Structure 1
Amino acid sequence: MSTETVQNTVKTFKFSFPTCTNEEVLYKLEVPVEIPHAGSPRELVQRVIKMFHIPVYLEDELNEKLATFIADETKNFHNERDEKLLNQLKNSEINVEGIVKNWERLFKENVVEFAEQKGTSDEEVFAAAYHKLVHSPALETILQVESSYAKTVMNMLKNRDEDIKKLTQAQTEEMEEKVRLLNTSSTEEEINALAAQHFEQQSLAAGRWDSQLDALRHAQRAAHRAWLMATLADYQADERITPSNSPLCTFPAEFPLVRAPPRPRLEESFTIHLGSQLKQTHNIRLVAVDMMDLCCVDHGDSEAAGRVQPALALYSGELSGCVVLAEAAPLRSPLRHAARASTEHHFDDVELQLRDIVEKIREPAEKRNEQRVAEQARGGGGAGGARARARRALQTGDVFVTRHSNLAEPHVVFHLVADDDSLRSGDITSRHPAILGLRNILKAACCNDVTSIAIPLLLRQELTEEMTAAWCLRRAELVLKCVKGFVLEAGGGGGAELRTLTAALPPAAAPAVFAAVAALLPAIFRVAGPVRARPARR
């Protein structure tokens, strides 16, 4: 039995006042008032005064008594209602489950009516579909299809380069001929006009090819998504589908999954333990390689095999990261060429990501740089140099992040701004902005499911004359010690556990330097090794 809805009740408000001529004669006023009263007592008083011609000097008294009457009667009404409901609950006369369901229905109706209508986005649906397919027999064909798309883009890039090269060569010959005939059949004005014409032709050619490449990438992205969703529907409809009879085989397998022999490079791996009480195991890989080689995909026969691990971990909690040294201008990132060598099917194109970064950092960077200039000006030194550096939006140690699915190893690239002459010298400390930038990178990696990351060990992209063997050892020791503390700090804050750390030396590093740096690792970290037991003496 469900409780009945308690209706409002009507109470009579009584008010009496004497006449002007005889105080013993009283006028009696009775007004029905609905309890609980939904309106304003003062408004009701004004209506009563106008309707019954009550003297105005009684307004204050009437207001006070009517307000007290409404408050008392409302309190009594609630007390009586609550007592009745409690008695019904004690006697099991209330259907509590029915009341809960009614409230649930009312809540849902209210949410549906007023809440924002938001469902699963297309990006989330596509991510789930891709993650399911790459962990199925369809993985091989998916990688082959993506490889065919990449080859098409590479062919167009090759045609673009050849076309621009031919145009440049023809313009160079034409300009040389004009210059040779200067003061005979050509003038400086004609040469200047020809240079402007050549510049316009170059711009038009570059714009035409960029437009064609963008159109190709958009078409490939749309076709790839539609094909994947159709493939998922086929796999869900027929569980007996195998790689040999699936509709995926409409794409010929002309890219055999055979790895080409890797190029020889210096590399060594260590297993280390960090922590005093609760020890954590990590892998450190020391390798002499250019950071761009870890990002660039070799679009050859072995590409599909090399893309297996990045594809499997793309939508997972075991992402791979990479630290790339960048300039203060994000649009001049060295990663642009590698990321645009194939179509980005899962995230925004690298150009769009970098432009978005430029827009987002402009306002906070300007405020920060203005504050730095003001502080240095108050200090009384180096104000001119500070203003020159403040013209740049980013400073040394700043980091911006891009996401990728078409690179060789990393899914996340941390661009560390290291455009500073102080990094050329070996006299930097653990408080240098670039070192603090590494700290922020490792913290962000652990907070965002990045379990494997590669860093440039010397914070330099290539070896120069001043980078002697002693210089390299000092810099490597400083960075490794700082990274050790940063990994412990980041691991203690929760999040993903950093399992693999790749320390990359420049590819031109000498074997002796590589061996000396490798010898530093057991001295800095606690390296796991076998226990050697001596044989017992007889």
Structure 2
Amino acid sequence: MSAEVAQNPSRNFKYSFPTCSNEDILFKLEIPVEIPYAGCTRELVQRVINMFHIPVYLEDDLNEKLADFVTSETKNFHNERDAKLINQLKNSELNVDGIVKNWERMFKENVMEFAEQKGTSDEEVFAAAYHKLVHSPALETILQVENSYAKTVSSMLKNMDEDVQKITERQQAEMEENMRLLNSTVTEDDINELAARHFEEQSLVSGRWGSQLDALRQTQRSQHRAWLMASLDHYSNTTGSNSPLSPLDARQLQPAAAARPPPPPPPRLEESFTIHLGSQLKQTHNVRIVAMDLLDLCRLQPDNPAEDMRRLQTSLGLYSSQLSGAVLLSAGPPAALQRAAAAAPEHHFASLDLQLKEIAEKVKEPAEKRNEQRSKDARRSRHALQTGDVFVTRHSNLADVHVVFHLVADEDALAGDISSRHAVILGLRNILKAACAHDVTTISLPLLLRHDLSEETTAAWCARRAELVLKCVKGFVLEAFGWGGARPATLQVAAPPNTQPQVFAQLAQLLPTIFRVSAPVKAKQPAAQ
């Protein structure tokens, strides 16, 4: 800090004790002690006793007085030093900038020596490169490359399905033939052996195709990342270029054969509203009610030219503060979502299977502790997740969403009437809270907490359930204003796709009654004079 305190001063410790023969005669001892003393006073006492042949019965007294001396002198040393430094500071005799720089240097050296060395990860570099390129003229080329990868994966999935179907049909015919000959030339042991052989064959085929798909996805992922980083360098160094592709990449994008475009999807029931929420500072939101399967937001159709526009919006919002999310009811493994996610390669996040595996490992211990606290039922505590729990997966290869909120719920258990304190309703609250905290500004959720309708779901039941969900969501969105973060600008509520038009119209009429819908101001013409 300063030159004055570079070397610690030495103070003399004085100690006297009487002789054994005459108490009036004192032995006087004077020992220099460096202040502040960095060692142990008891150790110093032992050295003094051995060096000067002091009687051992004086050890406790000597140790006590030496410790008091060191404490007192250390306090005086610090007081004198601090007073001197304060006076130097008042008189502008200290180089404050030099002291600050010295502390900064020592802090940096200490951090570099002991802190964990962390730099920008490869994921962060790739994210920055992708975000820069999708907001440039290279966006169209990126979408073409990703679409070509998706077509390759889709073609392999189609071949796998055809291969599995052929094997299944052959095995089914073989099993039927053996069942016909049962008790004549075929025994039950033969049937069991045939079933085991069929199962082994199915497992072998599934494993072979799964290995090929994994290898293809890994190859595409590494090639895509390498191409993207090379494209970024090419695009940064080349002005006026609208495509960062090399000639080799351009040849790879040529389709093998012109595919017939799929027929346009049938028109679906939907209606949109602009609403205002808030008592004093009102916020504007878009609410859309639509009859659709929420999985349609996840499914890609690489052969459909209209998919380019959907992928464009998804790519532009991938690394932004305007993410899109969807709520899917999940009572078990999301097989339909897994199929949709497998149709296109995932270049930015872990695959859905790996994410689910990681979630299962992380949630096991806290969920078991929670379940033990809530219930002593052994059957219930075996389940890691319960109704109303939510887990989240991230995606870049789905059609319209970046985040999927998996709400654990059994649709059959929700067939009856529920209250606003039901676990699934509270799960929706947690979803909206997480969405606001992580920049998910567009969110789609099942209006009736069901993905399809049955004969038991009457029009009156649909109206009651929709009214409950909309009122709860309205309260949760109002509550979200106090949570901070991004507000849900667009809220899409999806009725099951088999909703009848008259029921849909009845559900759509609930929105103006529950929310305050903005209406145009009608100006009256002034009367003619």
After TM superposition, the score normalised by the length of structure 1 is 0.91
For the Cα contact (< 8 Å) 1:259–1:302, is it kept in 2? no
1:423 corresponds to 2:414: yes
How far did residue 118 of structure 1 move? 1.1
Residues 186/68 of structure 1: CA separation in 2 closer, same or farther (3 Å cut) = closer
Could you say if the C-alpha distance between residues 281 and 55 of structure 1 is closer, same or farther in structure 2, counting changes exceeding 3 Å?
same
Q: What residue in structure 1 maps to residue 476 of structure 2?
A: 486
2:63: which partner in 1?
A: 63
Residue 285 of structure 2: aligned partner = 282
Residue 260 of structure 1 deviates from its aligned partner by: 8.0
Cα deviation for residue 494 of structure 1 reads: 0.9
Q: Secondary structure at the match of 1:287?
A: strand
> 1:91-127: per-residue Cα shift (whole Å, max 9, x none)?
4332221121111111111111011111111111111
Which one of 429, 440, 448 corresponds to residue 439 of structure 1?
429
Contact 1:3 1:93 in 2 (8 A): no
Task: Indicate if the aligned counterparts of 1:396 and 1:420 stay in contact, CA closer than 8 A.
Answer: no
Query: Counterpart of 2:272?
Result: 269
Shift in CA distance, 52/411, structure 1 to aligned 2, threshold 3 Å:
same
Distance in structure 1 (CA, Å) of the matches to 2:78 and 2:370: 60
Give CA deviations for 1:234-277 in whole Å, capped at 9, x if unaligned: 1222334323x753883256589x99855311111100001111
User: Which of the residues 280, 289, 294 maps onto 1:291?
Assistant: 294
Paired with 1:60 and 1:191, the residues of 2 have a C-alpha distance of: 93
Whichever residue aligns with residue 281 of structure 2, its letter is L
Change (3 A) 1:22 1:204: same
Question: What residue in structure 1 maps to residue 341 of structure 2?
Answer: 339
Residue type at the aligned position of 2:102: N
Distance 2:359 2:462 in 1: 33
Using structure 2 for the length normalisation, give the TM-score: 0.93
Equivalent residue in structure 2 for 1:369, among 365, 371, 394: 371
Looking at structure 2, the residues matched to 164 and 363 of structure 1 have their Cα atoms a distance apart, in angstroms, of 38
In 2, the alpha carbon distance for the partners of 1:8 and 1:364 equals 54
In the alignment, which residue of structure 2 is the partner of 1:24?
Answer: 24
1:188–1:99: structure 2 CA closer, same or farther, 3 Å change rule? same
Q: Measure the CA separation in 2 of the matches of 1:175 and 1:492.
A: 64
Given the superposition, is the C-alpha separation of residues 248 and 475 from structure 1 closer, same or farther in structure 2, using an over 3 Å criterion? farther
User: Relative to 1, partners in 2 of residues 1:36 and 1:537: Cα closer, same or farther, differing over 3 Å?
Assistant: closer
**Residue 32 to residue 537, structure 1, CA distance change in 2 (3 Å):** closer
Contact kept, 8 Å, 2:153 with 2:343, in 1: the verdict is: yes
- What SS does the corresponding residue of 1:251 show, helix, strand or coil? helix
Higher mean C-alpha deviation, range 228-237 or range 147-156: 228-237
The question of whether the paired residues in 2 share the 8 Å contact of 1:17 and 1:28 is answered with yes
Cα distance, 1:506 vs structure 2: 1.1
Are the equivalent residues in 2 in contact too, given 1:344–1:405 (CA < 8 A)?
yes
Map residues 224-235 of structure 1 onto 2, 5 A cutoff: 224-235=224-235
Contact 1:320 1:412 in 2 (8 A): yes
* Residues 236, 367 of structure 1: alpha-carbon distance in 2 compared, 3 angstrom cutoff: same
Deviations, residues 195-229 of structure 1 (Å, cap 9, x unaligned): 11111101111111111111111111111111111
CA distance in 2, matches of 1:469, 1:137: 50
Where does structure 1 lack aligned partners over 5 or more consecutive residues?
375-385
Shift in Å, 1:469: 1.7
Q: Give the Å deviation of 1:302.
A: 2.8
SS of 1:397's equivalent in the other structure is: coil
In the aligned structure 2, how far is the partner of 1:259 from the partner of 1:234? 36
Please state if 1:307 is matched with 2:311: yes
Q: Is the 8 A contact 1:141 1:249 kept in 2?
A: no
Instruction: Find the partner of 2:393 among 379, 398, 402.
Output: 402
* Structure-2 separation of matches of 1:216 and 1:392: 35
Q: State the shift of 1:134 in Å.
A: 0.5
Return 154-163 or 468-477, whichever deviates more: 468-477
Q: 1:61 to 1:173 in 2, by over 3 A?
A: closer
Shift, 1:332, TM fit? 4.0
Q: What is the CA distance between 1:395 and its match in structure 2?
A: 2.3
Letter in 2 for 1:370: E
Q: CA RMSD in A?
A: 2.4
The alpha-carbon distance between structure 1 residues 391 and 113, as it changes in their structure 2 partners (threshold 3 A), is: closer
| Separation of aligned partners in 2, 1:268 and 1:219 | 43
Does the aligned pair in 1 maintain the 2:389–2:408 contact within 8 Å? Answer: yes
Higher mean C-alpha deviation, range 474-483 or range 92-101: 92-101
Shift of the 276–260 alpha-carbon distance from structure 1 to 2, 3 Å rule, reads: farther
Answer yes or no: is the 8 Å Cα contact 1:452–1:499 preserved in 2. yes
Q: Which residue of 2 aligns with 1:247?
A: 246
Task: Report sequence identity in percent.
Answer: 66
1:224–1:345 contact (8 Å) kept in structure 2: yes
The residue type equivalent to 2:246 in the other structure is P
On the 8 A contact 2:291/2:495 being kept in 1, the answer is yes
2:107 aligned counterpart, secondary structure: helix
What are the superposed Cα offsets for residues 133-166 of structure 1, whole Å, 9 maximum, x if unpaired?
A: 1101111011110111011111111111111111
Residue 392 of structure 1 corresponds to 383
Which letter does structure 1 place at the counterpart of 2:44? L
Summarize deviations over 1:420-454 as a string: whole Å, max 9, x none: 534112x2221222211111111111111100001
- In structure 2, the residue matched to 1:523 is 513
Please give the alpha-carbon distance, in whole angstroms, between the structure 1 residues aligned to 2:15 and 2:374.
Answer: 75
Most deviating of 350-359 and 88-97: 88-97
Paired position in structure 1 for 2:323: 319
Distance in 2 (CA, whole Å) between partners of 1:400 and 1:215 is 28
Between 365-374 and 284-293, the greater mean CA deviation after superposition: 365-374
Other-structure match for 2:196: 196
Superposition map of 1:348-359 within 5 A: 348-359=350-361
| Counterpart residue number, 1:139 | 139
Alignment match, 2:175: 175
Is the 1:147–1:303 contact (alpha carbons within 8 Å) kept by the matching residues of 2? no
CA shift, 1:476, in A, is 1.2
Which one is further off, 153-162 or 292-301? 292-301
Whole-Å separation in 1 of the counterparts to 2:168 and 2:144: 36
Corresponding residue for 1:219? 219
Per the alignment, residue 53 of structure 1 pairs with: 53
Quote how far apart the aligned CAs of 1:484 are.
Answer: 0.8
Q: Write out the 4+ residue segments of structure 1 that deviate beyond 6 Å after TM superposition.
A: none
Among 479, 485, 498, the alignment partner of 1:495 is 485
One-letter identity of the residue aligned with 2:249? T
Could you tell me which residue of structure 2 aligns to residue 37 of structure 1? 37
Contact conserved, 2:440 with 2:486, CA < 8 A, in 1?
Answer: yes
Q: Which residue in the other structure is 1:127 paired with?
A: 127
* Amino acid corresponding to residue 210 of structure 2 in structure 1: D
CA contact (8 A) 2:411 2:450 kept: no
Change (3 A) 1:275 1:249: farther
Cα distance in structure 2, aligned partners of 1:70 and 1:183: 102
